[in-house]
Amino acid sequence: RKEVEQDPGPFNVPEGATVAFNCTYSNSASQSFFWYRQDCRKEPKLLMSVYSSGNEDGRFTAQLNRASQYISLLIRDSKLSDSATYLCVPRSGGSYIPTFGRGTSLIVHP
């Protein structure tokens, strides 16, 4: 099983919609998680850090389900500018090496 698995999508939603996608991880020792956003051919940028059961930042909510080993990202009131690829990165241990999945592509249309 891959360390990180994400549905590549694309998720195609209209403006204003609520959309959610999951990231499953294989290492049960993962202690925290990062969601990065990557625009086409640009560098990934940190969107949100999740250190406990979840985190909320404006329209973005991350929820962690340790029992089922997945973390979800919920985006409310989608904007055209939310169109991007969203990358999930779990963290475990002090010498942790970040492992990226392929990401989930989101397209928000008018």
Partner 1 sequence: DADVTQTPRNRITKTGKRIMLECSQTKGHDRMYWYRQDPGLGLRLIYYSFDVKDINKGEISDGYSVSRQAQAKFSLSLESAIPNQTALYFCATSAGEGAYEQYFGPGTRLTVT
Chain residues that interact with partner 1, rule: CB under 8 A: 8, 32, 34, 36, 41-46, 49, 87, 89, 91, 94-103
Query: Order of strands, edge to edge, in the sheet holding 84-91?
Result: 11-14, 104-109, 84-91, 32-38, 45-50
Kindly state the smallest distance separating residue 49's Cβ from partner 1, in Å.
Answer: 6
Burial of 100 (0-12, 13-18, 19+ CB in 10 A): middle
Kindly state the smallest distance separating residue 44's Cβ from partner 1, in Å.
Answer: 5
- Cβ proximity to partner 1: between 78 and 89 the closer is 89
- Cβ proximity to partner 1: between 19 and 86 the closer is 86
Kindly state the smallest distance separating residue 61's Cβ from partner 1, in Å.
Answer: 19
- Cβ proximity to partner 1: between 14 and 98 the closer is 98
Assign 3-state DSSP to the chain and report helix, strand, coil percentages, each to 5.
Answer: 5, 50, 45
